[in-house]
Amino acid sequence: MTISLGDISVEFLLNYGAISKRAYHVCFDGRLKTLKDLKEYFKKNKNFKSIKGCGVKTNKELVKFTKSKFVHPYSYSSFEITFLNPLQFEEKIQRLLKSTLGVRAQKAILEHLADNFSIENIEKRIVDQDFSTIKFKQVGLKTMAEIDAFVKEVVLLYSKVSKG
């Protein structure tokens, strides 16, 4: 299975160490949400200096990254995704939860999933339904944004699970 550039979020790049936190924030401020957005912006502007908060080092990092041939962390070759088995899927979801979400967002997700990270439960409670953070109780806008980003990554990981 191959993945398109548009499917790889800048947050995913941050979580897997492809870009720094500062570069992520520059992309966020510049409304660059995907690798495709990043490459298109660079193609049009030749650098990232005009984005709020982008200094010399961050510009250099983003230019170098954008010019490089990005190799997806799960791949053997560029953009080739290997399938995850169910156990790998559950482990990756739990790691992603702990490494990317604040305490409130973690609590909300754990409650929503009833502490069950199985493929079937993720499929039932996130993938198959119109998932919306509006359903969450006592969750603010910042936490909703965190959860939305997490859910996008979960859906991306879900698409890589080998079900047989």
**pLDDT tens digits, one per residue of 69-87:** 554 444 333 333 445 567 7
28 has a pLDDT exceeding 90: yes
DSSP string of 30-85?
TT--BHHHHHHHHHHHSSSTTSTT--HHHHHHHHHHHHS----TT-SSTTBPPPBP
**Cβ(12)–Cβ(156) under 8 Å?**
yes
Confidence at residue 96, expressed as pLDDT on a 0 to 100 scale: 86
Structural contact between residues 117 and 94, judged by C-beta atoms closer than 8 angstroms: yes
* Token pair listed for 2: 């191959």
How far apart (Å, rounded) are the C-alpha atoms in residues 123 and 106? 18
Higher per-residue confidence, 154 vs 45: 45
Sequence-separated (6 or more) residues with CB below 8 Å from residue 21: 14
pLDDT for res 88: 73
Average pLDDT score over residue span 130-137: 78
DSSP helix/strand/coil, 54: coil
In tens, the pLDDT along 79-115 reads 334 455 677 778 888 888 888 888 999 999 999 999 8
Give me the pLDDT at residue 164, please: 40
Confidence band (pLDDT; 50, 70, 90) for 13?
Answer: confident
